[in-house]
Amino acid sequence: MTHKPVPDKRRVLVHRVMSGTLIVTLLILAANHMPALGGWLLLVAISAMAQLEFYRMLNLPGIPVFRWLGVIVGSCMVTATYFTMGLSADQAADALAWEHFVLCLGLILVFFRQFPQRENTQPLATIACTLLGILYVPYLFNYFTRLVYTWEYGPHDMRVGETGRQLVFYLVVVVKSTDIGAFFVGSAIGKHKLFPRLSPRKTWEGFIGGLACAMIASLSFVNGAHGAFGVLNVSMVDAVILGLLLSLVGTAGDMFESLLKRASGSKDSGAVVPGMGGLLDVLDSLLFGAPVLYFYARFILS
């Protein structure tokens, strides 16, 4: 009897940290050097692929969803936010208004799509899970666009400024440091399970180690930048608060995807790159962290 080799956890962790950093680097480079159309296509492609992974996991246990309608609505939300942030004189307000317009229209379309269904025995689950896919992936993903384009430049100028670049890299460093700290501390001394029903390998010791590692990474990053993120000034107190918040919500994002994978019986959300898993495996914690960092920067640091 042959057994499938168990993947090295350290190798998987390294792959996912590197992949997350690579994806964000590509987004920044695309925004800096590609024309507006190219940057838009890249954002839509990443959002759509991650959303399809989410819907695929729901299909595995037999939950029907309107996946293509959900992806179309999500892609329209990404499009509305991207171009409004670059073309509007009041970027944040207009982008939010257009995004919510598309979201409301999508909600109505999902209901209309369900009306003619005769054989679907789970209409409420179909509607709810289709909408969850829209909110979970493209809605949260749009906060990367807001992080990048809110700060330096005015309408008709879609360059990435120093503020957006610093914020996005800071987000990746802190969130992925949580993963690294949780893994190594949990592997070394982890004994008390965190939420075994959701993720049996995660421990309280690893959770605390992840928090500590995120705080150290946050303080080191801010100190290295001398407290200046472009037009924003970040104090050491802000670094502690953000390190704590991003670590907590990043862990919550990771746990949520673990719940999805356990419910669907999936090991990974997909197989975009061998050894990496799916896009959601890389983006799960970042999707929860992006809006937290954006709102903190917008309302407290600005």
3-state secondary structure the chain: CCCCCCCCHHHHHHHHHHHHHHHHHHHHHHHHHCCHHHHHHHHHHHHHHHHHHHHHHHHCCCCCCCHHHHHHHHHHHHHHHHHHHHHCCCHHHHHHHHHHHHHHHHHHHHHHHHCCCCCCCCHHHHHHHHHHHHHHHHHHHHHHHHHHHCCCCCCCCCCCCHHHHHHHHHHHHHHHHHHHHHHHHHHHHCCCECCCCCCCCCEHHHHHHHHHHHHHHHHHHHHHCCCEECCEECCHHHHHHHHHHHHHHHHHHHHHHHHHHHHHCCCCCCCCECCCECHHHHHHHHHHHHHHHHHHHHHHHC
Amino acid at 208: I
Q: What is the maximum alpha-carbon separation in the chain?
A: 66
User: In the chain, which residues have pLDDT < 50?
Assistant: 1-7
Residue 159 contacts residue 198 (beta carbons within 8 Å): no
**Model pLDDT, residue 13:** 62
Amino acid at 197: R
What are 233's strand-pairing partners?
Answer: 228
Closest CA to 183 of 15, 3, 21: 15
**Model pLDDT, residue 6:** 41
**Model pLDDT, residue 65:** 95
**Model pLDDT, residue 151:** 79
**Model pLDDT, residue 140:** 97
Using CA atoms of 267, 17, 141, 63 in order, give the dihedral in degrees to the nearest 10. 0
**Model pLDDT, residue 279:** 86
Task: Give the Cα separation of 59 and 55 in Å (integer).
Answer: 6
- Span 70-118, pLDDT tens digits: 999 999 999 999 888 866 556 667 778 899 999 999 999 999 999 998 8
- The pair of three-digit structure tokens given for residue 139, joined into one six-digit string: 């809605």
Find the radius of gyration of the CA atoms of the chain. 20
Amino acid at 21: T
